[in-house]
Amino acid sequence: MRLYVDSDACPVKEEVVRVAERHRISVTLIGNRWMRGLEHPLVEQVVAAEGLNEADDRIVERIGPGDIVVTGDVPLAARCLDKGARGIDHRGKVFDANSIGMAVAVRDLMTHLRDSGSITGGPAAYDKKDRSRFLDGLERLIQSMKHL
């Protein structure tokens, strides 16, 4: 098991490292820039080329069955699930075979509503409750995968 983090806009990188340390799981941070302050023996950082989907493509190339991706990018999560991995977003929502179809549909609907001007706001601000839900969700996901 390895944790892959879509790192550029991820607000829970430090939390991922803490959970990984507790479980002795390796972490790969993949993004378009180096993240200072996240040097750790369990952490590998990969800087992808600039460009649309470059970091996503690096994650999909590396991820495999039994791994977990931390991302808010629903299409990336779907690509990782196709390779046998599981996923979780930074608010603690787990992506698996049972939930990814609905997540893709909601994402597409929200994109359409934003593009048509029907809604103009984004998601709610990230807060302590979201961070707590993420930590709980990641812990539960890791525990469930250890017992497979």
pLDDT per position as a tens digit, 125-139: 889 999 999 999 999
Q: Which CATH number belongs to the domain containing residue 75 in this structure? A: 3.40.50
Tokens 């539960």 belong to 140
Whether the pTM exceeds 0.85: the reply is yes
CA 22/CA 36 separation, integer angstroms: 21
CA 113/CA 25 separation, integer angstroms: 39
CA 93/CA 9 separation, integer angstroms: 16
Q: Count the helix, strand and coil residues of the chain and give each as a percent rounded to the nearest 5.
A: 45, 15, 40
State the pLDDT at residue 43: 97
In three-state secondary structure terms, 100 is: helix
What residue numbers bound the domain in which 108 lies? 2-146
What's the average model confidence in pLDDT over 9-18?
Answer: 94
Domains of the chain: total: 1
